[in-house]
Amino acid sequence: MDILLKPVVTEKMTDQGEKSNRFGFIVATNANKIQIKKAVEDMYGVTVESVNTMVYAGKKKSRHTRSGVTTGRTASYKKAIITVAEGDSIDFYSNI
């Protein structure tokens, strides 16, 4: 899929997945909530109740090297928090 880039597998998101059926994904920056909902329902076969999105801006970073200070910028990305229906679940570890 070109809408869902990768799942967010952190301690906080794993806890939210177990307690309140919320799962996180890094998504394409031009994807809207309707496209994200359809992509999750098609890929995982669950019923999506709500989609919350947030855009993270890139940060300025600098490091000191032998030739001086090198400055750059990290990439910006969009994250989606998906709430699935009661009884449904997404298992990210089934293919490992």
Digit-by-digit pLDDT tens for the chain (96 residues) are: 589 999 999 999 999 999 999 999 999 999 999 999 999 999 999 999 999 999 999 999 999 999 999 999 999 999 999 999 998 888 877 766
Q: How far is CA 30 from CA 4, 46, 50, 77, in A?
A: 11, 23, 18, 10
Residue with tokens 């952190």: 10
- Output the pLDDT for position 41: 93
Q: How far is CA 47 from CA 84, 92, 93, in A?
A: 6, 16, 19
Which domains, from first to last, does the chain contain? Answer: 4-84 (3.30.70.330)
- Output the pLDDT for position 95: 64
Q: How far apart are CA 26 and CA 77, in angstroms?
A: 7
Stated pTM of the model: 0.84
And the tokens for 83?
A: 């709430």
Q: What's the full length of the chain, in residues?
A: 96
